[in-house]
Structure 1
Amino acid sequence: MRARGIVVLLVVLVAALTGGVVASFAISGRRAARGPQQVAQEYFAAWRQGSFTKMARLADAPPADFADQHRALSQGLSVVSVELRPDPVVQSGADQAQASFQVSRDLAGHGTWSFRATLRLGRVDGRWKVLWSPDTLYPGLKRPATWRLTRVEVPAVAFVAADGRALPEGGLLDPYLTELGDRLVEEGDDDEADGHSGWAVEATEAGGKPQRVKLLAVKQSARLRTTIDRDVQAAAERAVQGRPQRTAIVALRPSTGAVLAVADQLGGQGAFVGGYPPGSTFKVVTAGALIADGMGAGSGADCPAGVVAAQRTIRNHEGSALGATTLRGAFAQSCNTTFARLAVDRLGGGKLGRAASAFGFGVRLKPGTGAATGDFPDPRSGAELAEASFGQGRVVASPLMMASVAAAVADGTWRAPRLLAAKDLRKVGAEPGPERDVPGAAALRAMMRAVVTEGTAAGAGLPAGTAGKTGTAEFSDNGDAHAWFIGFKGDLAFAVFAEAGGSGPKVAAPIAARFLRGL
């Protein structure tokens, strides 16, 4: 009996231990299988509690000053409470996910500052982690920042949408409206500029200049209409939310040059002031120059995988080739080799430069806020001309500039973009810009439609009636590239830009489709 009792006891012990091991494996399995939604929930919960240590554990390789960056914002702005309202996590592919969220901070005695941002997540060594960067704190931040509340003179006006309705606060347009207000006060020669003292949220990135990102508790007695369309703005902001890359959309009305939307996650108002290689979106300009020189969309052209133009070896993306084709076919499939050879053999720097000027390159843009000039430097060699023909080398442009290129094709006339009615531009120290007829607009419209129906954007899900041009613009020796798509549909033109997004067809064009389908 004693021996039997011992056996029974051993069985019970083994069963208990086995069950414990199974339970242990189950718990371990659950931990290993934690998905992005659970990680995001834990991160937001820790953030609400102010537990920077736990937040850092949930992040992949957080910087040494992770907690300090959070404290700098709270202390600099006298934050007394933080409210976080996350959206459900959206997974993109097997290893990336993101959750848009609204954050509202009570700034002791200065009101509430609210805006939307994105929490990005990724699978690292088999586990989901938060891919933290400074723009998790505020969209567009690239480096640690110091924050402060600064007393400012603010205008006694509220900037409203084109239809007179209030613009939603806390969106990606806020920095642009803040600068409009600053410029209105600086001009100071109009009754609408007579304002009062107020407070502004100011951020200064390491090594950068202070940027006012929000005016607080401003009392307005009048309204000044912008050109912004509330519906287009909302669609643009939805389209860029939750992207793994910093993304911007600028939308214009081709018939007037009015800016309809600015959804800018680039930081520092990069959608207007940034300078980036436009890549193959610049082929719109080169094709216009070729049409002005006598070619037609159906003119014969060659598209080999590689070509030597002016002693510069040019290759197509991923080694693609069409062989004998037409200008339209080479444009739709974005053949670098075709455009490089034709630019060198037929156009030269002078003809291409004149086409660039017709499309607004070199024109000082004054939309009402700061804006960079599109730059097409005179090619110093045939090799530079070959690169410039497809938007590489020294050619640079902002998303605003490339949106104006798309608008020019849609309308036939390039118009300087603007954020206010032409009659109101002087109130912010700006003025209406020039208008210029662009070469080959009718043929370019058909060629840009071909990009969507049968070319590089055919699989992007763009709605019927859309025309456009993809661009993959390399910016490093490692092959890193920005993703572009510019286009138009009816009396709406736009540029989509994803910083370091890689592929225009795979990244920027689908964002454009999401934008257009969201209208």
Structure 2
Amino acid sequence: MSALGSMGRGVLRWDDRSPVGGWLEESRMRSRGVAVLAVLVAAVLATGVGAAWLLPGPADKSPEEVAADYFAAWNDGSLDKMRRLVARPPEDFADQHRALSRGLEVSAIELKPRPVARSGPDTAQAGFTVTRDMLGRGTWSFQAVLRLGRVGGRWRVLWSPATLYPGLKGKGTWTWREVTVPALTLVARDGKALPEDGPLEPYLAGLTDRMEGEDDTGWAIELRDNGGPPQRLKLFDVKTGKKVRTTLDPRVQAAAERAVGSQEAAIVAVRPSTGEILAVADGLGGLGAFVSGYPPGSTFKVVTAGALLAGGMGEGSTTDCPAVVVTAQRTIHNDENHALGRTALRNAFAQSCNTTFARLAVEELGAKKLAASARAFGFGERLTPGVQARAGSFPDPGSGAALAEAAIGQGRVEASPLLMASIAAAVADGSWRSPRLLEPKLIREGGGRTPEPRPIPGVGDLRTMMRAVVTGGTAARAGLPDGTAGKTGTAEFGEGSHAWFIGYRGDLAFSVFVSAGGSGPKVAAPLAARFLRAASR
């Protein structure tokens, strides 16, 4: 202990053994000295920071000197000296340091400070690298920052738990944990981690099952911040698993998951220019968005319109849209029996006239041309996303009533949300591509045969027609963002109907499906609007 001051005949010294610090009188003090000391103590209690000059610590030292003293004390393991250099140290200051050392069995510590950088007249900071030796497990190094500030006229260390470990906010609990590291880890397109649970789980498991590798076992440093969830900070005695990038976009995935919520529904998003799957929000269960088959309803009119355009019609060609039509001995109704009379093909598509497309399929197209268009859009094709998938079915409808039903996506026509997203992407890009979750090379290594892209005839007119659906057709009131094009669908089954909306905006194509959701325009299209707004933020 060193003398810090005297008062009369009494000499005051700082007591390092005191948990809060204190002044001790080493000799007798006259009554006047006692009175003055009482006044000074009262000043300390009353003014707090303002009386910091009375506290023990470096007198008139620069922040560089204070930082050097703090690092020297830390290197020596002198927690008391460190504490005296800190402004307002927490009561468990020493305990927080000991918790790390004891929890991780630290045997030695080395600090390498960098020069102090002043950020203002009263603030400064010094970056440093800390390396700890841990018994039998190796070393652990990371960078942190020591913050300093002028308090009560003197430079002090502004300590927080983040001084001990970056980002730490409360009291840390440090432990070793035995862990198993998978041979490979699937990550997002940007290299960041993907959620291990939620709607993506079966899709990631399906991808992993198709790739070879052996898991490894080792040890990890685990941190709980103030009792929070465990955070894995560093692996030891284990080889880091291979990271495999998927095509998934975390921002688009999060937007799709928020839009679907807890509904029995699905959103699949695809990049039209590449076929990359950007998001799969699947509330159908398992791989439902890829393997399930549902009648696509009026979204299939994209395929029927594609066949009509390939046969010579244009988006401005005139046609009829009566409320009811009888074709091939099958009576077809429009929704709510609406009628447009004589109108452009574009308008019949935008208002989703069942009567128009059923009659044209029977009288103008025939089963072969409609089937050819279905194949061009992926029906019957082997989809190769990297996991199990269903391409949809378009059984030969013949030339009768089944053909009229098939033209409007009913009867025996079935499709998955994945396939319908690829159809929207084909219109956006001009070519149909098999959607994928991995790079083509990895798809091939897994035994997948990715078909070559196929050009879509009449795609310019199809884009105009799908745009008309949003600007003045069945999706005009859905709140879709500017630049969206699409097609609504209400697919009947048994006593109910599924709700569909497929579309694209820029280089983002998608399908929205709500099982037993009812109306495509009233349910699926507004859901698509919520998804697109969230994805564009």
TM-score category by the smaller chain?
0.5 to 0.7
State the secondary structure of the residue aligned to 1:184.
coil
User: Residue 385 of structure 2 is aligned with which of 367, 388, 392?
Assistant: 367
Instruction: Output the amino acid matched with 2:360.
Output: L
Partner in structure 1 of residue 141 of structure 2: none
Give the TM-score normalised by the residue count of structure 1. 0.63
Partner in structure 2 of residue 234 of structure 1: 254
CA contact under 8 A between 1:154 and 1:181: conserved in structure 2? no
Residues 469-494 of structure 1: per-residue CA shift (max 9 Å, x gap): 00000011x2x000000000000000
Partner in structure 2 of residue 409 of structure 1: 427
Structure 1 333/183 Cα, relative in aligned 2: closer, same or farther at 3 Å? Answer: same
Partner in structure 2 of residue 470 of structure 1: 488
Structure 1 505/264 Cα, relative in aligned 2: closer, same or farther at 3 Å? Answer: same
User: Residue 499 of structure 1 is aligned with which of 491, 510, 515?
Assistant: 515
1:172-191 paired onto structure 2 within 5 Å = 172-185=199-212
1:294-309 paired onto structure 2 within 5 Å = 294-309=312-327
1:502-513 paired onto structure 2 within 5 Å = 502-513=518-529
Rounded to whole Å, the distance in 1 between the matches of 2:404 and 2:468 is: 24
Structure of greater Rg: 2
In structure 2, runs of 5+ residues without a counterpart are 1-179, 219-234
Rounded to whole Å, the distance in 2 between the matches of 1:465 and 1:374 is: 29
Rounded to whole Å, the distance in 2 between the matches of 1:367 and 1:420 is: 7
The CA deviation at 1:304 is 0.7
1:267-278 paired onto structure 2 within 5 Å = 267-278=285-296
Partner in structure 1 of residue 357 of structure 2: 339
Instruction: Output the amino acid matched with 1:517.
Output: R
The CA deviation at 1:163 is 1.1
Residues 397-418 of structure 1: per-residue CA shift (max 9 Å, x gap): 0000000000000000000000
Instruction: Output the amino acid matched with 2:523.
Output: V
Residues 433-482 of structure 1: per-residue CA shift (max 9 Å, x gap): 32111121110001000000000000000000000000000011x2x000
The CA deviation at 1:183 is 1.4
1:340-355 paired onto structure 2 within 5 Å = 340-355=358-373
1:257-336 paired onto structure 2 within 5 Å = 257-336=275-354
> Is the aligned partner of 1:221 residue 2:207?
no
CA contact under 8 A between 1:229 and 1:260: conserved in structure 2? yes
Residues 354-378 of structure 1: per-residue CA shift (max 9 Å, x gap): 1111111110111100000221111
> Is the aligned partner of 1:251 residue 2:251?
no
Rounded to whole Å, the distance in 1 between the matches of 2:477 and 2:360 is: 28
Aligned-pair Cα RMSD in Å: 1.9
CA contact under 8 A between 2:489 and 2:520: conserved in structure 1? yes
Rounded to whole Å, the distance in 1 between the matches of 2:203 and 2:240 is: 18
CA contact under 8 A between 2:362 and 2:399: conserved in structure 1? no
Rounded to whole Å, the distance in 1 between the matches of 2:361 and 2:524 is: 26
Instruction: Output the amino acid matched with 2:460.
Output: A
1:6-405 paired onto structure 2 within 5 Å = 155-185=182-212, 193-195=213-215, 221-243=241-263, 246-405=264-423
CA contact under 8 A between 2:497 and 2:518: conserved in structure 1? yes
CA contact under 8 A between 1:278 and 1:473: conserved in structure 2? yes
Rounded to whole Å, the distance in 2 between the matches of 1:487 and 1:195 is: 41
Rounded to whole Å, the distance in 1 between the matches of 2:371 and 2:187 is: 39
State the secondary structure of the residue aligned to 2:208.
helix
Rounded to whole Å, the distance in 2 between the matches of 1:274 and 1:323 is: 37
The CA deviation at 1:219 is 8.6
Structure 1 313/166 Cα, relative in aligned 2: closer, same or farther at 3 Å? Answer: same
State the secondary structure of the residue aligned to 1:280.
helix
Partner in structure 1 of residue 531 of structure 2: 515
Residues 237-277 of structure 1: per-residue CA shift (max 9 Å, x gap): 0111144xx01000000000000000000012110000000
Instruction: Output the amino acid matched with 1:157.
Output: L
Instruction: Output the amino acid matched with 1:159.
Output: L
Instruction: Output the amino acid matched with 1:481.
Output: S
Rounded to whole Å, the distance in 2 between the matches of 1:511 and 1:411 is: 23
Rounded to whole Å, the distance in 2 between the matches of 1:237 and 1:431 is: 30
Structure 1 240/372 Cα, relative in aligned 2: closer, same or farther at 3 Å? Answer: same
**Which range moved further: 335-344 or 429-438?**
429-438
CA contact under 8 A between 1:422 and 1:431: conserved in structure 2? no
Rounded to whole Å, the distance in 1 between the matches of 2:456 and 2:412 is: 22
Structure 1 427/317 Cα, relative in aligned 2: closer, same or farther at 3 Å? Answer: same
Instruction: Output the amino acid matched with 1:182.
Output: D
The CA deviation at 1:169 is 3.0
Structure 1 447/156 Cα, relative in aligned 2: closer, same or farther at 3 Å? Answer: same
User: Residue 476 of structure 2 is aligned with which of 455, 458, 463?
Assistant: 458
Partner in structure 2 of residue 46 of structure 1: none
Number of residue pairs the alignment of both structures matches: 338
> Counting helix residues as a fraction of each chain, which structure ranks higher?
1
**Aligned-residue identity in percent:** 67
Instruction: Output the amino acid matched with 1:447.
Output: M
Rounded to whole Å, the distance in 1 between the matches of 2:200 and 2:464 is: 33
Structure 1 171/510 Cα, relative in aligned 2: closer, same or farther at 3 Å? Answer: same
Rounded to whole Å, the distance in 2 between the matches of 1:424 and 1:431 is: 11
Partner in structure 1 of residue 506 of structure 2: 490
CA contact under 8 A between 1:355 and 1:439: conserved in structure 2? no
Partner in structure 1 of residue 149 of structure 2: none
The CA deviation at 1:430 is 2.2
Give the TM-score normalised by the residue count of structure 2. 0.61
Residues 283-330 of structure 1: per-residue CA shift (max 9 Å, x gap): 000001001111110111111111001110001112111111110000
Residues 195-238 of structure 1: per-residue CA shift (max 9 Å, x gap): 3599xxxxxxxxxxxxxxxxxx9995220000001110010001
Instruction: Output the amino acid matched with 1:433.
Output: P
Structure 1 167/340 Cα, relative in aligned 2: closer, same or farther at 3 Å? Answer: same
Rounded to whole Å, the distance in 1 between the matches of 2:338 and 2:262 is: 32
Instruction: Output the amino acid matched with 1:291.
Output: L
Residues 36-86 of structure 1: per-residue CA shift (max 9 Å, x gap): xxxxxxxxxxxxxxxxxxxxxxxxxxxxxxxxxxxxxxxxxxxxxxxxxxx
CA contact under 8 A between 2:488 and 2:521: conserved in structure 1? yes
Instruction: Output the amino acid matched with 2:476.
Output: A
The CA deviation at 1:154 is 8.9
CA contact under 8 A between 2:262 and 2:283: conserved in structure 1? no
